[in-house]
Structure 1
């Protein structure tokens, strides 16, 4: 007797792929729209995170979705106009925005300011690694060699871009009373600039400071706040570097996260979800009891928010530095 043949059940990840594919085909998800994350897929379809990750990977391989830096996994194609990155809202940025976006400006209208602003536009949207003299020229609609009449090369262009970026924020003429409010304003101003231009923190280690006039403005603000408290010059500068490195050190991860997302095709949530089995294995190994207890009590997991971490770290740093700056360290010994 011939044994009847059976059709194997379709794998769960393929059902998810088919459902999201239908949403895209029916226009429910348009080009540039974010698709459900692995966590959302796991909840909606009742599957494991690994299955959800496999579904998104399949959609990505089919070319239906793509991962965009600082956006996440979206439907492939042209993004809506509102998703286009905006240039910094400074007075000098306006003419550059209109000229560089068209890509049709005649070569005789080329200026150093437009070159610099266009370079910043590219770095803001795609990261510093995407910047090239040829790419800037293409965006401006001019021959690549014409840029070299204004700037010697890419390294010099990057320094001009950085100086321009640091110059987008200044400080009030009415100086806040007390050293701490002034230092807090300085640190938050730098954090704002790094948030706006994540590539800024990638330009060099703090042991090799950039000789940029507009960066010096921020250093001058903090140094002047720390002056007059009896610190010797070396200790004063140490404090200044520690405060600067807090903003800079956290900001390094802004661009690195975008780079990692572009390289892996996974958002930070998706990447963590794909590592969930390994983390569970580590927790169940018994080798890391503190980790297991703390992570187990987090409920929905740990949400690493850089803005909140910046504020928490700044407060803790300044609390620790207060006895040194105000001279209480020596009297307490």
Structure 2
């Protein structure tokens, strides 16, 4: 008797997709609930990011999941009774009996942008490629090009979508309150989408999107009652923009360092503290030693942001006073 061939093990991404499908079927995940992100899947299942991406792509192909801008991948409906493989969303006995729906046929630009936002938010802008987005959506790369001509345009659409997630609200009556509100709004956008600080880094070649331009318009309106010239208003806007941009890029670099090293900021400081102590022990940096000795100083980028914003606005207030006089 010939030896029995052992069954081929199921690919990890299919096993993960099956478990997430089970959670929907049992009600653990309801329509509108968010599926675990690719980062959460890599952590909980101990798999590579590409495997996590494939698992969510299977659910999208089945019509069970869809990307939601600013949210992630969410449940759209219970799984079909008989799944015939990726790309099949209907089987016999369902509406449209005997028909199959290709994910390419129903693909929209909004879905592409939402999937791209989730990918960039999770893995950074360097991970964003047209091929990677196509894999996430379970379609061919060429299918994406029917809606978006290339990565540059895709990033522009992503930036516009990100800027349109949360409205700025009415412009405050006082210019300082308005500039504070605008700066904190922009800071929050960058906190949700860290890659944007790099995508919007150019001042001479700004990203042309309606929602980004609406932010500029809002800030300029906040200064409408001041005696500043048009040139001074625009420069004021750009100075505050640059300030928020710089700290937000630092935020992104800090997060990348945490991911690359796998250690927290406190752990990193503990490991490097002997080196700093050795450098300062010669007494060559007395002023630096005086402000950092005793462990009383802990750098917090949020505190630094508020301190720097306040001092920037103090300077603008002085310019307004001088102009008024």
Which TM-score band applies after superposition, normalised by the shorter structure?
0.5 to 0.7
Determine if contact 1:151/1:157 at 8 Å carries over to the other structure: yes
Determine if contact 1:112/1:151 at 8 Å carries over to the other structure: yes
Alignment of 1:127-142 (within 5 A): 127-142=124-139
SS where residue 275 of structure 1 aligns?
helix
Alignment of 1:167-178 (within 5 A): 167-173=164-170, 175-178=171-174
Counterparts of 1:95 and 1:330, CA distance in 2 = 49
Alignment of 1:39-58 (within 5 A): none
Partner of 1:286: 283
Partner of 1:153: 150
Determine if contact 2:156/2:208 at 8 Å carries over to the other structure: no
Offset of residue 120 of structure 1: 0.2
Partner of 2:322: 328
Counterparts of 1:311 and 1:239, CA distance in 2 = 17
Partner of 1:305: 300
Q: Give 5+ residue unaligned stretches, structure 2.
A: 1-37, 49-55, 57-66, 80-85, 88-101
Partner of 1:13: none
Counterparts of 1:166 and 1:277, CA distance in 2 = 43
**TM-score with structure 2 length normalisation?**
0.68
Counterparts of 1:285 and 1:139, CA distance in 2 = 55
RMSD: 3.1
Counterparts of 1:109 and 1:182, CA distance in 2 = 42
Counterparts of 1:176 and 1:77, CA distance in 2 = 49
Partner of 2:46: 77
Offset of residue 259 of structure 1: 2.2
Counterparts of 1:260 and 1:159, CA distance in 2 = 26
Residues 1:254 and 2:247 are matched in the alignment? no
Counterparts of 1:92 and 1:268, CA distance in 2 = 30
Partner of 2:175: 179
Kindly provide the CA deviation profile for residues 4-24 of structure 1, in whole angstroms up to 9, marking residues without a partner as x: xxxxxxxxxxxxxxxxxxxxx
Offset of residue 121 of structure 1: 0.2
Kindly provide the CA deviation profile for residues 176-224 of structure 1, in whole angstroms up to 9, marking residues without a partner as x: 2211111111111111111111111011233432112111111111111
Counterparts of 1:149 and 1:208, CA distance in 2 = 26
Counterparts of 2:197 and 2:178, CA distance in 1 = 22
Partner of 2:185: 189
**Number of equivalences:** 247
Counterparts of 2:217 and 2:137, CA distance in 1 = 36
**TM-score with structure 1 length normalisation?**
0.66
Offset of residue 329 of structure 1: 5.4
Q: Give 5+ residue unaligned stretches, structure 1.
A: 1-68, 85-89
